[in-house]
Each structure stands twice: as structure tokens, then as C-alpha cells.
Amino acid sequence: MAKRKVGVWLIGAWGGVATTVVVGLAALRKGLSDTTGLVTALPSFAKLDLIGWDELVVGGHEIRETSYAAEAQVLVDKSHVFNEKTLAGISSQLAKFDRNIKPGTLVNVGAKIESLAGPECLKLKKETAAQAVSRLTKDIEKFKTAEKLDRVIVVNVSSTEPPPPDEVREWKWAEVQKSLASKSCPLPASTLYAIAAMQSGSHFVNFTPSVGSDLPGLDELALKQNVLHVGRDGKTGETLMKAVLAPMFAARNLKVMSWVGHNIFGNLDGKVLDDPVNKANKVKSKDHLLTEILGYKPQTLVSIEYIESMGDWKTAWDHIHFQGFLGTPMVLQFTWQGCDSLLAAPLVIDLIRLTEREARRGTSGIMSHLASFFKSPMGTDEPAFAYQFQQLTQWVDRVSGESDE
């Protein structure tokens, strides 16, 4: 079989998640890691002929100036993850990918994210939204040409933006275009990246709570450009637990009176979320789920706090106060101690592989069968993880059937 060559274009390319994606791909390629944590490494995905680790080339946009080696070392020092021998074994690969990283845009990213930007990026601060889209599009196109890629998957793994005005979420493509042409375009950076991706003929995956392609106009564009897209907000920890546990309470008719969730962590994402404007987007994405699953709204509380000593380790404490038979109050508590980037990265790799596979099928628009990966999945109303995952396994069965032919 001829080797394929597919591009992975990461938005927030030197962030914790992106760094772990790149470390992971390099380690898998060199046989320095097993495939634990990768959904697409489950036996049932074996027949799908998914893209291989050595068939992926990484590039991306980023607003800070650093390197994969430096960012990986931060994860080692602050969060005690990665094996230093593994890092040594992949250093030349990391350096190679470093060279594909281009300056991102600061348009509508908010003050908090702007404060992180490096000099190269700040130079571009005055560009308009339309100029930004044009530049970003060209970066992706050049990457595709230079690396001779069959196709490119753009994945947004950047920090959470402040939410745009509500009306943006209803915009058709015509309104998006009109706004882009205007002087004060309120479209958030994540949407500009999505437009750039689609206009370059690439597929777009939004792993963050930011808006990205989650508005009617972008879906129009995707269909027009014959590309795929999906999102939003990778479901890695506490919300995954909610999507798993809440259906149990619903199925058993146990009445959730209150569900309190406190999240503490100390990575860059946490620092950005420490700004209330950015946090709003995230909390919203974590909180709507319960009402959808339970069919009523219990009292809920979601807090996300930046605690520096935690590094990339997110600890969530959830206290679920529920009422059983004959009015009896009971309690379930859990604490989740997970390393954020290491939970997210394999899912990003899964999404790349699954998007690439679907692209080969020639479809376009929202990939609703990928709902199990997201906190706020696009294209479906199913909030329960088990049934979302069933949608994925049904897709696997369908595509496997096609592969047999």
C-alpha cells in the first residue's frame, strides 16, 4: 500500500495539548509508547485502515514563541509527566515540527490571551479580520504544498476565548462575509481560523469551548467547500464523568437535588480561564449537560480555579446530592485526578484519524457521530456518553462494511 501523507495543523500549536499530541505522535512513530488512551487503537477500529503515526506531518499557528522541547520540559518539571528518555529519543522530530509553526492572530482573542503573545505576533496586531483570514489561509495552503500533503486537518487546541455577541451564533454565511468586510468584525479568532481552514480546503476540528465553526454560516461554508467539521470542547474529565453518571441517576429515577463540581488546575489553560470573561465560555460548556440528561434543572455549581502548584493535573471534586425512595437524601462524591494534556492529546489524535477516514469517504459537513468526544457536540441532541459512543461504534460498523467491499 502506498504511503499516505496527511497534514495536522494545530491552532495553539505550542500549547500543552498540542505539545502532548506532537510528543505522542513522535513517540508512537518511534515505538516508544503503547497506544493506551487512544480510542482508535481499540480492536474494533482495526479494520478501518486509519492513517498511521508515520503518515502525519504537523504544523500550526501559535501566538507565543517557544519550542516543543521547551514546552515538553515545562510539563516534565511542573507536572512530572513524560519519560525523559522518551523526550531525548524524539528531539530531532520535535525540532522539525517546530519549523512549521507560524504566528497566529490576535483578532478578538481578548486581553488575557493577548497578554501571552510574542513579538512576531504583536507585529501583526493591526491586521483586520479579513486580512487575518487571508494570511492564515495562505499559511495552511503553503504547508500543504510544501509538504506535498493529500489533505490537511486543522485542529483548534488553543486557549478559551471570551464569547462573542450572541447574534453571531445565528449568522448565515452571507452575514459572516459581510461582517468580515466590515471594520469592526466581532467574529472570534477561532471562527477566523475555521474559515481559513475551510477556505484552504481543509477540515476543521474544534477541541475548545470557543465558537469555531459552530454557527450556521460556517456549516454552509463547509458544505460549499466539501469539507468536514466538528466540535466543541473535548470531553476529557469532569464532564465526561457527568455524561456517564447523570444517565444512571436518570435511568434509576433518582432525583438529583444538587450537583456541585469544583475544578482546580495550574496550567496555561487554567491561567487564561482565571479571567472571568474567558471562564464564562467554559463553565457554560460544562453545565448544560445535566439538564439535558435529567430532564429537569437541579441546582448546579461549576467552579474552575487556577491553583498554580497543580500544573497540568486537574483535580475535580464533585458532590452529587440526590434523593432516593421515600424522600431519603443520599450522596455520591468523586475526585478525578487526571493530567489534562495527557487526557486530551490522544483524543485529538483520534479525531484527526477519524476525520481523515471520513474525508476519504467523500462526505462533508458536521460529523455528528463524533459526539462522544465533545462536551458540546455539534449535530446531535444525545447527551449521554454511552449512547454517543454507540453512535461511533455504529459508524465503525458501517465503514468497516464499506471497507470489506
Q: Which 300-319 residues touch its own copies, going by CB under 8 A?
A: 301, 303, 305, 307-310, 315, 317, 319
The sign of the torsion formed by the CA atoms of 36, 18, 91, 313 equals negative
Phi first, then psi, for residue 338 (nearest 5°) are: -125, 150
Identify whether the C-beta of residue 340 lies closer than 8 Å to the C-beta of residue 237: yes
Q: How far apart are CA 279 and CA 269, in angstroms?
A: 10
- Is residue 297 at the binding interface for its own copies, with CB under 8 A as the rule? no
- Is residue 299 at the binding interface for its own copies, with CB under 8 A as the rule? yes
Residues 345-364 that bind its own copies (CB under 8 A): 345-346
Q: Which of 91, 115, 182, 258 touches its own copies by CB under 8 A?
A: 258
Q: Which of 257, 276, 394, 397 touches its own copies by CB under 8 A?
A: 257
DSSP 8-class letter at 308: G
Q: How far apart are CA 66 and CA 334, in angstroms?
A: 37
The residue among 71, 58, 56, 73 whose CA lies nearest residue 14 is: 71
Determine the interface stretch with its own copies among 109-117, 167-175, 197-205, 259-267 (rule: CB under 8 A).
259-267
Determine the interface stretch with its own copies among 96-104, 142-150, 183-191, 321-329 (rule: CB under 8 A).
321-329
Q: How far apart are CA 401 and CA 361, in angstroms?
A: 13
Q: How far apart are CA 337 and CA 262, in angstroms?
A: 12
Q: How far apart are CA 65 and CA 398, in angstroms?
A: 44
Q: Which of 136, 154, 343, 399 touches its own copies by CB under 8 A?
A: 343
Of residues 193 and 207, the one with the C-beta less far from its own copies: 207
Of residues 37 and 201, the one with the C-beta less far from its own copies: 37
What is the smallest separation between the CB atom of 155 and its own copies, expressed in angstroms? Answer: 16
DSSP 8-class letter at 162: P
Q: Which three cell numbers mark 6?
A: 496527511
Exposed / middle / buried, residue 85 (Cβ in 10 Å: 0-12, 13-18, 19+):
exposed
Of residues 116 and 244, the one with the C-beta less far from its own copies: 244
- Is residue 251 at the binding interface for its own copies, with CB under 8 A as the rule? yes
Q: How many residues touch its own copies (CB under 8 A)? A: 75
Residues 261-280 that bind its own copies (CB under 8 A): 262, 264
Residues 1-60 that bind its own copies (CB under 8 A): 20, 23-24, 27, 33-39, 41-42
Of residues 165 and 327, the one with the C-beta less far from its own copies: 327
- Is residue 195 at the binding interface for its own copies, with CB under 8 A as the rule? no
Query: What are the start-end ranges of the H helices in 33-172?
Result: 68-79, 84-89, 91-98, 111-114, 119-123, 129-146
Of residues 222 and 250, the one with the C-beta less far from its own copies: 250
How do strand 255-265 and strand 151-156 relate by DSSP bridges? unpaired
- Is residue 260 at the binding interface for its own copies, with CB under 8 A as the rule? yes
Determine the interface stretch with its own copies among 93-101, 109-117, 164-172, 378-386 (rule: CB under 8 A).
378-386
What is the smallest separation between the CB atom of 352 and its own copies, expressed in angstroms? Answer: 14
Q: How far apart are CA 380 and CA 366, in angstroms?
A: 10
Q: How far apart are CA 201 and CA 174, in angstroms?
A: 19
What is the smallest separation between the CB atom of 254 and its own copies, expressed in angstroms? Answer: 6
- Is residue 342 at the binding interface for its own copies, with CB under 8 A as the rule? yes
Q: Which of 385, 395, 396, 399 touches its own copies by CB under 8 A?
A: 385
What is the smallest separation between the CB atom of 111 and its own copies, expressed in angstroms? Answer: 23
Identify whether the C-beta of residue 7 lies closer than 8 Å to the C-beta of residue 151: yes
The residue among 360, 403, 347, 349 whose CA lies nearest residue 151 is: 360
Q: Which of 81, 116, 124, 280 touches its own copies by CB under 8 A?
A: 81
What is the smallest separation between the CB atom of 192 and its own copies, expressed in angstroms? Answer: 30
- Is residue 80 at the binding interface for its own copies, with CB under 8 A as the rule? yes
Of residues 214 and 238, the one with the C-beta less far from its own copies: 238
- Is residue 121 at the binding interface for its own copies, with CB under 8 A as the rule? no
Across 308-396, the runs of DSSP E, i.e. the strands, are 313-323, 329-339, 365-366
Of residues 77 and 166, the one with the C-beta less far from its own copies: 77
- Is residue 330 at the binding interface for its own copies, with CB under 8 A as the rule? yes
Reduced to 3 states (helix: H, G, I; strand: E, B; else coil), residue 256 is strand
Q: How far apart are CA 312 and CA 168, in angstroms?
A: 32
